Structure 1
């Protein structure tokens, strides 16, 4: 019991520190997760190239490949913006007129003596959209000053995460060995076994998450295509692959699909398209794909997956949502081992013997 109490005390202390320092630790947590995923690629590249390839160069190549893949995801937005921006300039007045024609009769039916006049809004938006790119600099800088903390945080993430990722990938083996040195020799066997099981579970999680992303990319692209959307492929693929960032990727994809639909289809058709495709997509992801392809692979019940996402998100915010399922997978391994130790403990054996003796006495 003393060993169990010590482990629980250390775990609670680490959880408290992590919770208090979550905003500061966020870029390092992201870098650590990426390092864990990418480190096997570094080892494989070193194994293929041999001593001719310095480790620093192998790390740079792997990290550059990962950054290139992430940039490729965002480059899917380029054809969307290039196509939609001119259409937005052309169709915006018509969309606002349709909005006024739709809302004013509804206000009249509700008995509200209000007329929605969108002329001023339309003129201002058209003037802004038609302005030269140089004219955007002043309002952009003004908005950055107003939201300086957010802009500074984004710049900090963009700089700090790659730097932290490089050092973690380069020194990953040494960092792991440093942690292992802190484990008492008497616990080394149990610790190695626990880390091995956790590594297997996390590997299953990553493979399951990749399957979820690919399945959703196909689903959204096919669903939007059925409604005749011209940009169904880039928007659908972007939405599916961006779900690794919970809520944010889905939200950006939904806004892009709605905007593209409004510029190409009738407003009612665009709203129906987004409601059907993205509504079904969210249901399929939350209740079918993630529980089945991720939850079952790591041994979590579908309800436990949903609870983990909500609980970690409430405690740690955005970072909590990112690490919810991996952390739950490691916690699951720990709970399995605690259960196994309890079933093999003297307390459980004595209680079982006492129950058997009581049954024999009654008989």
Structure 2
């Protein structure tokens, strides 16, 4: 008997709530496993390509693991220290830049900031507060990053989980497919393919875009001699996964630092502006259309909403899960909207009645029915004769028993 749709929705809803509750209660504990699964998901196409090239699955995973470990060690030893050092210096220099900007406005535009309106004191308080908190904030950031990178769970469990999941990824997918409810298996597979297309297209495409933009911004700003240029360039590239956010934040920071450092030399200030203008033109006209493409379906506003909501609910684990959850929810939303447009609630017309069961007519040669009736009558007569004989035998047996 078919399970009612309402009961199916109830059970699926309970399963989803259980998953969210588990993430909320065990967020930090399951973080290494989520990261490992994400790494395995991203590297699975590479392993498949190496298999098609002739390597076994085990050898493909070993080659990928060695390459990823070498890249990770290189980044940690060469890039991360520079980023941390420049980030700390930028935080400590920010109050001085604010003071110089305030002094410039007071000298050139004395009426721009009204005296006695409280804004002057607000800016002064902001500068003092940032100066007092700069060292503490830098220490906190350094301690947090160092703690995360030095956690045994992230340095040991994540690579191990990623290695074994990548090794058995195809078997895991087949096992999950075998557990799908048969009635909805085709629909779930289609939704999973759409989620995979959106998620993989966004993550892998944006990774390439970020790498290209990071190289351009960092090297360009370092070439013009901008202080903290390497950190600002990497920051702008990383934030570019949300359109216009990276160029706005990175560009504003770079131009502010350029005004502070190159005041009186407009050539280098213009060079900083040109670096971000060229990067934005190349990203919008070539990198995003050619590399990411139009199949992603993750709107920037939707992505920002997912980051805010999941980050507030689940902390750092929510930020990690925000992008895949945004992709999944986006696909599910489009699926439900399509079903809504097909429903009577949207069209205003009731669904047609179920068609009646057809009457089956068997075509047989002429005389077949009469022949079957004759055989049936003969069988009934024989059965009646047997019953009469058995009754007579029983009657004779009873008489003999009495005599």
TM-score bracket, shorter-length normalisation: 0.5 to 0.7
Go from structure 1 to structure 2 and tell me whether the alpha carbon gap of 1:334 and 1:221 turns closer, same or farther (over 3 Å shift). Answer: same
Q: Does 1:37 align with 2:42?
A: yes
Alignment-derived partner of residue 309 in structure 1: 307
Partner of 2:225: 229
Structure 2 residue 24 is matched with structure 1 residue 19: yes
Structure 1 residue 75 displacement after superposition: 4.5
Report the Cα distance in structure 1 between the residues aligned to 2:333 and 2:286, rounded to whole angstroms: 25
Would you say 1:204 and 2:194 are equivalent positions?
A: no
1:183, 1:162 → 2: CA distance? 29
CA contact (8 A) 2:344 2:350 kept: no
TM-score (norm 2): 0.56
Residue 319 of structure 1: how far off its partner (Å): 2.8
CA distance 1:164–1:267, shift in 2 (3 Å)? farther
Q: Distance in 2 between matches of 1:295 and 1:49?
A: 30
Task: Decide whether aligned partners of structure 1 residues 43 and 279 sit closer, same or farther in structure 2, where only a CA change above 3 A counts.
Answer: closer
In the alignment, the residues of structure 2 paired with residue 152 and residue 214 of structure 1 have an alpha-carbon distance, to the nearest angstrom, of 23
Partner SS, residue 53 of structure 2: helix
Pairs within 5 Å for 1:119-158: 151=147, 154-156=150-152, 157-158=154-155
Give the conservation status (yes or no) of the 8 Å contact 1:313–1:324.
yes
**Conserved 8 A contact 1:245-1:322:** no
Change (3 A) 1:5 1:289: farther
Q: Which has a greater percent of helix?
A: 1
Q: 1:205, 1:326 within 8 Å by CA — same for their partners in 2?
A: no
Q: 1:278 to 1:13 in 2, by over 3 A?
A: farther
1:178 pairs with 2:175: yes
Cα distance in 1 between the residues matched to 2:297 and 2:70: 33
TM-score by length of 1: 0.61
Deviation at 1:175, TM superposition (A): 2.0
Residue of structure 2 aligned with 1:193, choices 183, 187, 190: 190
Structure 1 residues 287-302: aligned runs within 5 Å = 297-302=295-300
SS at match of 2:224: coil
In the other structure, the counterpart of 1:69 is 71
Give 3-state SS (helix, strand or coil) of 2:180's partner: coil
d(CA) in 2 for partners of 1:152 and 1:296? 35
Q: Secondary structure at the match of 1:35?
A: helix
Partner of 1:125: none
Q: Once the 2 structures are TM-superposed, how far is the Cα of residue 67 of structure 1 from its aligned partner?
A: 2.7
Paired with 1:79 and 1:20, the residues of 2 have a C-alpha distance of 34
Within-5 A mapping of 1:316-335 = 316-335=314-333
Question: Match for residue 12 of structure 2?
Answer: 7
Alignment partner, residue 157 of structure 2:
160
**Deviations 1:154-194 (Å, cap 9, x if unpaired)?**
33211111111111111212222232232122221111111
Q: CA RMSD in A?
A: 5.5
Whether the aligned pair in 1 keeps the contact of 2:226 and 2:261 (CA below 8 Å) is no
Q: Which range moved further: 208-217 or 34-43?
A: 208-217
Q: Secondary structure at the match of 2:225?
A: coil
Correspondence 1:337 to 2:342: no
> Computing the radius of gyration over CA atoms, which structure comes out larger, 1 or 2?
2
Q: Which moved more, 1:160-169 or 1:69-78?
A: 69-78
1:167-226 deviations in Å (ceiling 9; x for gaps): 11112122222322321222211111111111111122124312440453255236525x
- How far, CA to CA, are the matches of 1:330 and 1:8 in structure 2? 15
* 2:58 equivalent to 1:56: yes
Write the distance in 2 (CA, Å) between the matches of 1:311 and 1:59: 35
Aligned residues: 304
* Secondary structure at 1:317 match in 2: helix
Residues 31 and 161, structure 1, Cα contact 8 Å, conserved in 2: yes
SS in 1 for 2:330: helix
Unaligned 5+ runs, structure 1? 111-142, 355-363
How has the CA–CA distance of structure 1 residues 310 and 172 changed in structure 2, closer, same or farther, with 3 Å as cutoff? same
| Kept after mapping to 1: 8 A contact 2:197/2:295 | no
